[in-house]
Amino acid sequence: MSTRRIDVGEVRLSVTEAGDPSREPVVLLHGFPETSHSWRHQLPALAAAGYHAVAPDLRGYGGSDRPAAVDAYAAPKLVGDVAGLIGALGHESAHLVGHDWGGGLAWALAGTRPEMVRSLTILNAPVGVVSARLRREDPAQRAKSWYMLLFQFPGVAETWLSQDDFANLRQFVFDDAAPGTFPEEDREILVDALRRDGALTAALNWYRANMPAASWLRDPPDPPEVTVPTLIIWGEADSNMGPVLLERSAATVTGPLRVELLPGVSHWVPEEVPDRVNGLLVDFLGALPAAT
């Protein structure tokens, strides 16, 4: 694997990649509060299967640019980064794989720019407007989303997450996964990335720009249809995302759809069951028509 920085338009993203750049691109998008390191198990597996696997540190994270303004993290800009990355790699389209926030971006690009998405693989990530609507309608999902409200408060959220050597963040992330999912070395890589100047605030700005408290009172628009071939891999033991999010997100797919439920698996699917994810992903991609 190698790392480089790529100009995607407004910002430069640090990307980790594996495989032959002349092969079909698979772009893997991480979530909060991780970096491209979250795909450390998938990158070599995809390269071995004959793909060019590319995992960026998304805007604000890791080695990528961190704009200071909250509105620099609004969804259209984040989705634009993904589109810009595909173009900067020399392609008009790519296979997208997304987890958590990265899955939200993948859903959005597939729904609004389907010509750029050869296929879509989602790991425990709802369609954005589906999530917004369910936070209004469902008290159970609203309770599961408590942290999104906490994250709206500048300074307060940063202090709560980082105090006592990131004790609350460590509990929020690591204690939710099965034992062994995050070895000590990987825990420190994640935390060290958030210690960088402005990194924690940048990560929280994703929530502040797109999920302000006032938005919880507004009825969001209908989600766009997703017409591209889609695979959803869903850990059913996710403590923050209920099954209705999966059901309503899957209902937006009008193209070919495959859903794989993983009983007993937490939100951190790519790291908790990497071999299972790799097998499903390579099988799904391998069954698609070859790019012309």
56, 43, 40, 67: which is closest to 8 by C-alpha? 56
3-state helix, strand, coil in the chain (%, to 5): 45, 15, 35
Sheet with 117-123, side-by-side order of all strands? 2-7, 12-18, 52-56, 25-29, 94-99, 117-123, 230-235, 257-262
* CA pair distance 262, 280, nearest whole angstrom: 11
Q: Mind telling me the catalytic residues? A: 100, 207, 267
Is the separation of the CB atoms in 124 and 267 below 8 Å?
yes
Residues 80, 82, 85, 87, CA torsion sign: negative
79, 24, 23: which is closest to 56 by C-alpha? 79
Give Cα separations from 102 to 27, 28, 33, 72, 168 (angstroms). 10, 8, 11, 16, 22
Q: Which residues pair with 260 in a beta bridge?
A: 233
